[in-house]
Amino acid sequence: MLAVGDCSGEACPIPPGSLPYGATPAGNAFMLAAFAALILPVIYAGFRYRTLAHTFLLLAALAFEVVGHVGKIFLVANPTSHAYSAVYLMGTHWGAILIGSATNLILPHALVIYGEEFRIVSDPVYLNILFFVLDIFALAFQSVGIGFASTAHTAAEVSQGASILLTGLAIQAANLLAFLGTYRYFRYKLSHRRYILDDRYAFVYQSRRFRYFMVCIQVVSFLLMLRTSVRIAIFADGLNSPFASSQVTSFLLDDTPVLVAALILAVCPSGKAFGAAWAPTSPMATSPDRPDTLPLRLRRHRRNRSSRIDKRVISLPYTSPSASPRFSPGYTPRGGMTPGLPAHPSPLMSPRNNPVHQRAPYDLSPTQEVPFMAPQESPGLDSAMWMTTPPADHGRKKRTRAGSGPEGNQLVKGDALWS
């Protein structure tokens, strides 16, 4: 069991497992009031936009931060107390982890609104499971490490508890890096897309509010990553290190990043950025398939690397034409027309409108030049005679030299063919 020490201040030596902290109570009271003031805006946003899971995680984080800073205020009055140091460390560590969990809950919603072709995994619920498992391991290792360090009576036991605590902090850092890496890869895939964006939630991802909100989410992750790195550096040398008892380190690099992260999530709620798309984009929600508006795959083609790529947003579907197409059930024919016929029939082509020049028959010489005339210009020619009589030879003929045969030496006048 953790017991509260009987001496306070510097009257007694600091036993192993205690966390010496000499900050002023004014700074701790400010942090306590700031975290407590964010509870009401978070509750209002949760009921206003129906983001229950996200609101519950954020409220739990704020509650743990308030409890942790209460223990921190009592720790200033009694630095040798193991109980106050355990409450302070447990509350502040759990608060940061739960704020990260509320942030991780937003990523699967963001992966759904652009379409199925842009999802990194087949089902975004897998990301929820991954982040949830990492959060559970981080909470377990940090809680066990704080418990071992707070109840230790020797320096070896304190070192063992600090090692377990550092393992939990490393898992928390890996969780934040996984979130940032997944989102940056998603943005890279979205900017180098070969698919067409789904227009189902175009009112969300085309709004300026949503783009600013996703930037704020990245800032929150960076702040939590900064705080986790500072905690790793603080407890790398044990609980009694000068870095752990520094007022500047504790106020500016330890408490302030978490407060700013919670303030961003309270001022910019996720329900306001997603609007009505928060519930349908949940990985737990089952949305009906829409085969008519599924994202279409573009044709892959080779492009010149020196050519400039226009990364404009393409949305589907295109607006349907006002008039129904022909031969459709909703098509109404015009007056005087038979249903099923074209609206504007093209005139039939006649030989008189498109005359065909045909070749006159000849039997004398295959090498002689014979004039071409239109049928209208040759009234004396009996067309039935030469149209029904096929040519004598078909296919390729051997080339004969001039004068090689009797037919080649005879000269025929041009008018003799038409007499």
Q: Quote the CA–CA distance of 68 and 84 in Å, as a whole number.
A: 9
Q: Which pLDDT score, from 0 to 100, does residue 246 have?
A: 74
Please write the tens of the pLDDT for every residue from 386-403: 455 555 555 555 555 555
CB 301 within 8 A of CB 80: no
Q: Quote the CA–CA distance of 334 and 70 in Å, as a whole number.
A: 83
Give 312's contacts (C-beta < 8 A, 6+ positions apart).
none
Does a structural domain hold residue 92? yes
Does a structural domain hold residue 88? yes
Task: Copy the structure tokens of residue 408.
Answer: 């080649």
127-142: average pLDDT: 94
Q: Is the pLDDT of residue 330 over 90?
A: no
Does a structural domain hold residue 228? yes
- Residues spanned by the domain of 268: 25-276
Please write the tens of the pLDDT for every residue from 156-179: 888 888 899 999 999 999 999 999
Q: Which pLDDT score, from 0 to 100, does residue 300 have?
A: 45
Does a structural domain hold residue 259? yes
Could you give the number of structural domains in the chain?
1
Instruction: Give the model's confidence band at 182: pLDDT under 50 very low, under 70 low, under 90 confident, else very high.
Output: very high
Instruction: Give the model's confidence band at 54: pLDDT under 50 very low, under 70 low, under 90 confident, else very high.
Output: very high
How high is the mean pLDDT of the chain? 74
How many CA atoms within 13 Å lie on the side-chain side of 15? 21
> CA triplet 27, 29, 31: central angle to 5 degrees?
70
Does a structural domain hold residue 285? no
Q: Is the pLDDT of residue 59 over 90?
A: yes
Q: Quote the CA–CA distance of 49 and 30 in Å, as a whole number.
A: 29
Please write the tens of the pLDDT for every residue from 339-354: 555 555 555 555 555 5
Longest Cα–Cα distance in the chain: 143
User: Which stretch of 141-155, 293-307, 387-401 has the lowest confidence by average pLDDT?
Assistant: 293-307
Q: Quote the CA–CA distance of 92 and 100 in Å, as a whole number.
A: 13
Cβ neighbours around 377 below 10 Å, total? 9
Task: Report which of residues 333 and 225 the model is more confident about.
Answer: 225
Cβ neighbours around 141 below 10 Å, total? 20
Does a structural domain hold residue 414? no
The DSSP call for residue 155 is: H
Give 344's contacts (C-beta < 8 A, 6+ positions apart).
none
Check which CATH number belongs to the domain holding 51 and give it. 1.20.1070
Cβ neighbours around 282 below 10 Å, total? 19
Residue whose tokens read 């982890």 = 97
Q: Which pLDDT score, from 0 to 100, does residue 288 have?
A: 41
Q: Quote the CA–CA distance of 387 and 57 in Å, as a whole number.
A: 93
Does a structural domain hold residue 408? no
Give 397's contacts (C-beta < 8 A, 6+ positions apart).
366
Does a structural domain hold residue 57? yes
- Percentage of the chain beyond pLDDT 70 is 60
